[in-house]
Structure 1
Amino acid sequence: MLFHPTYFPPIAQYVELIKSNHFTFEVEDNFQKQTYRNRCYIYTANGKQSLNIPIQHTKGSKQKTKDVKIDYKENWNKLHLKALQSAYSSSPFFEFYIDDLLPIIEKKHEFLIDLNIASHLFIMEALQLEIPFNFSTAFETEKIENDFRNLAIAKTKTQFNFERYIQVFETSHGFIPNLSMLDLIFMEGPNALNYLENQTLKIN
């Protein structure tokens, strides 16, 4: 299985990832905008909200995903933490996970890839899963089976038919599927894995 390492990835990525015995993270591709590489979506009082990580851009040349550096000119990590606290402080399992989450968001990772891997490891620990992975050594251009890199595309009209679980602001805005795994973990806690195991990646 082949995935992009993304920032607190969407649920769809883990619906597939947990089925694997081993998978590969693609890191040799050129960084692309409008993807989950440097953003995630959470559920706030105003509905679906994007949390974006600013990156350092290079002039006149493309950057490989593994070489992208994070821009700390603005305190985006403090804004992300504030948004998460505002959105999920009343969720059933926020207090259970927040102490493990804080060091990841507060640490000034130099490279985006390191933050994204830390995000993945946090999620796997919350799911109580250990699935070995490796990193790509060359960009895969051939069509291969179990290529899920397209799940990293954030700006898409794709609709995912995932089962409902209770969300903090559902009474105001309805159920929103395929948010960041943080939404599922804060709401479902130890049951998050069971939820993922019962979903099918049916795309409309």
Structure 2
Amino acid sequence: MNQIAVDLHFLPSLEFFAAIADAEEILIFPKDQYPRQSYFNRTRIRLSNKVETLSIPIQGRRPRLPLNQIKIDHTQNWKSIHLRGIQSGYGKAPFFEFYFPYFREIYESEEEYLWRFNLNLLTMCLKLLRWNARLSVYQGDGYAMDFKDIRGQIVPGRPFSDRMHYEPVSYTQLFGLDFEPNLGILDLLFCAGPEADRILRDSKKRLNNR
């Protein structure tokens, strides 16, 4: 079985999905420690004049806790900001009306923990892509197990071209003439719909592309 261990990201990037495109089982680890710089609480969308980062506020400052103990700071107005930004950026996208209600429903939940919120979003993304990979949660660290482990690889501050997961395949985006690669999965789903599966599989970097 093709198993791959990943970090649990918030609405992951196209690089993330290209990396797991061939996986039969996706392994995630709630006991891994919260990293200071990661995509655990941030994703990128495209607006009319810029690429915007959407961030989820968390309780406490740089907490030294397992990922599944990180709580969302619901005292901040982040949900409305995110939903307005998504609607502003993609309201006219071809598949927005079809996909957006699924994400809005998860956003409108009162999930306390960021881990569970991200897990719900990832589960929905896999369903919309019609990927049959099993999503498995492991309570240990998994380092003694035999699988491909890319945890800690897909991080902010390093270009995706430095890694061996993603080779951009362009698709029609809403704004501008220049294609913006490696945005969050929302961009691809809203703009390409059912073609998202093919685009992600074609975007998987092969060894002969090095």
**TM-score between the two structures when normalised by the length of structure 2:** 0.87
2:96 to 90, 94, 115: 94
| Residue 186 of structure 2 is aligned to residue 182 of structure 1 | yes
1:191 to 184, 190, 195: 195
Aligned to 1:166: 172
Q: Distance in 2 between matches of 1:142 and 1:153?
A: 23
Calculate the aligned-residue CA RMSD, in Å. Answer: 2.1
Whether the 8 Å contact between 1:6 and 1:152 is mirrored in structure 2 is no
Once the two structures are TM-superposed, the CA of residue 89 in structure 1 deviates from its matched residue by: 0.5
Identical residues among aligned pairs (%): 26
Once the two structures are TM-superposed, the CA of residue 196 in structure 1 deviates from its matched residue by: 1.1
Aligned to 1:36: 39
One-letter amino acid of the counterpart of residue 167, structure 2? N
**TM-score between the two structures when normalised by the length of structure 1:** 0.90
Aligned to 1:26: 29
Describe the shift of the 1:151–1:122 C-alpha distance in structure 2 as closer, same or farther (beyond 3 A). farther
Once the two structures are TM-superposed, the CA of residue 142 in structure 1 deviates from its matched residue by: 6.8
Which deviates more, 123-132 or 153-162? 153-162
Describe the shift of the 1:152–1:107 C-alpha distance in structure 2 as closer, same or farther (beyond 3 A). farther
Q: Tell me the alpha carbon deviations over residues 61-93 of structure 1, each in whole angstroms, 9 at most, x when there is no partner.
A: 611111111001111011000000000001110
Whether the 8 Å contact between 1:39 and 1:53 is mirrored in structure 2 is yes
User: Which stretches in structure 2 are left out of the alignment for 5+ residues?
Assistant: none
Aligned to 1:125: 127
Describe the shift of the 1:124–1:70 C-alpha distance in structure 2 as closer, same or farther (beyond 3 A). same
One-letter amino acid of the counterpart of residue 129, structure 1? W
| Residue 15 of structure 2 is aligned to residue 12 of structure 1 | yes
Aligned to 1:50: 53
SS of equivalent to 2:81: helix
Once the two structures are TM-superposed, the CA of residue 177 in structure 1 deviates from its matched residue by: 0.9
One-letter amino acid of the counterpart of residue 140, structure 2? A
Once the two structures are TM-superposed, the CA of residue 58 in structure 1 deviates from its matched residue by: 6.3
One-letter amino acid of the counterpart of residue 30, structure 1? Q
| Residue 108 of structure 2 is aligned to residue 106 of structure 1 | yes
Aligned to 2:87: 85
Q: Tell me the alpha carbon deviations over residues 110-159 of structure 1, each in whole angstroms, 9 at most, x when there is no partner.
A: 00011101111111121122221212222245797521223441232333
Describe the shift of the 1:149–1:201 C-alpha distance in structure 2 as closer, same or farther (beyond 3 A). farther
Instruction: Report how many aligned residue pairs link the two structures.
Output: 201
Describe the shift of the 1:73–1:101 C-alpha distance in structure 2 as closer, same or farther (beyond 3 A). same
